[in-house]
Amino acid sequence: MMPSRADLADFAYFLAIARHRNFRIAGLEMGVSASALSHALKALEKRLGVRLFNRTNRSVTLTAAGDELLSAINGPYAAIGQAVAQLDRFRDAPAGHIRLNVVADAATLILGPVMPVFTDRYPDIAVDIVASNRMVDVVGEGFDAGIRYGGTVPEDMIAQRLSPDLRWVVAASPAYLERFGTPARPQDLLQHRCVGIRLGDARLYRWEFEGPDGEFAIAVPGQVTVDDGLTMQAIAINGGGLTYGIEPAFAHAVAQGTLRLVLEDWATTGPGFHLYYSSRHQVPTPLRLLIDLIRELRPFSPA
């Protein structure tokens, strides 16, 4: 029996649900609501006469019939997708859609300067950016790629370096330093007010330094803890305490005189920003063009 036009459309929905095991995330990928996706799946199951998923409030799992259907059509649909992507070579202007999950500093320092040029150059490519320090499974949550610090990229991903290594520094406002003094060595931070950093996995970050005996970390004290650099910087600029982060993120405030770097002789250097994506999928043309543009523009150069 030849599948109907409705079957072909609903098979694509079925594959998205099977990839993510989540109706909301699958709906984001397909550009429809979770409710519409659920109705389409029910209609497909009714036409086929079998149940494809077991659905509860907590999980979405394939039935035996669903697993067999997935094995049969996943490869052909992937081949169709790759063939369509290849047609971009024949278009006057590339088109498509990419979703990115990006650490907040990279969103500001890399995508901020790059996206205006990208949208001018490629007006038919839509870009959806989620800026978050929370570590996520980019494939499982429906993203085409992520941008993270090099040391945090999952090992099973293909990574593309976007920046040189980054210098991690401490900064404070002149008003704070005048009131509380300037720390001369990292251990002095234990007597200061520091703005704490909560990592994407909910752990409190220990500020890292490098001295004559190598690298070490300090659990700094502080009444205020945040999970993004812009908030930390705003608190520090207003005299709320010492802050910690990558040097390029402080460059504008330092140039304006609203922040001053301290403990520079103890600064450590870590891996730069990397864009990463699944090794199991061909790189979409829009994503490849974005990578090429970032490398062309080189949006920032750390000191």
Both tokens of 78, joined, read 């992937």
Rounded to the nearest integer, the mean pLDDT of the chain is 88
- Residue-level pLDDT at 303: 44
Q: At residue 85, does pLDDT exceed 70?
A: no
**Across 246-274, average pLDDT:** 95
Residue 157, CA distances (Å) to 132, 145, 280 in order = 19, 10, 9
DSSP per residue, 23-81: HHHHHHHHTS-HHHHHHHHHHHHHHHTS--EEE-SS-EEE-HHHHHHHHHHHHHHHHHH
Q: At residue 86, does pLDDT exceed 70?
A: no
Distance, CA of 178 to CA of 46 (rounded, Å): 73
**Across 35-55, average pLDDT:** 89
| pLDDT band of 116, cuts 50, 70, 90 | very high
Strand pairing partners for 275? 147, 160
How do beta strands 53-55 and 60-62 pair?
Answer: antiparallel
Q: At residue 99, does pLDDT exceed 50?
A: yes
Comparison of pLDDT for 19 and 178, the residue scoring more: 178
- Residue-level pLDDT at 74: 83
**Across 111-139, average pLDDT:** 91
Q: At residue 300, does pLDDT exceed 80?
A: no
Spatial contact of 226 and 281, defined as CB atoms under 8 Å apart: no
Length of the chain: 303
| pLDDT band of 302, cuts 50, 70, 90 | very low
Distance, CA of 187 to CA of 265 (rounded, Å): 13
Name the one residue in this structure whose structure tokens are 């409190």: 204
Residue 281, CA distances (Å) to 25, 77, 138 in order = 18, 13, 13
Spatial contact of 169 and 263, defined as CB atoms under 8 Å apart: yes
Enter the pTM of the model. 0.70
Comparison of pLDDT for 243 and 150, the residue scoring more: 243
Q: At residue 131, does pLDDT exceed 60?
A: yes
Q: At residue 123, does pLDDT exceed 70?
A: yes
Segments in the chain forming alpha helices (H) = 5-20, 23-30, 34-48, 64-86, 104-106, 112-121, 174-180, 229-237, 247-256, 285-297
| pLDDT band of 257, cuts 50, 70, 90 | very high
Percent of the chain with pLDDT over 90: 49
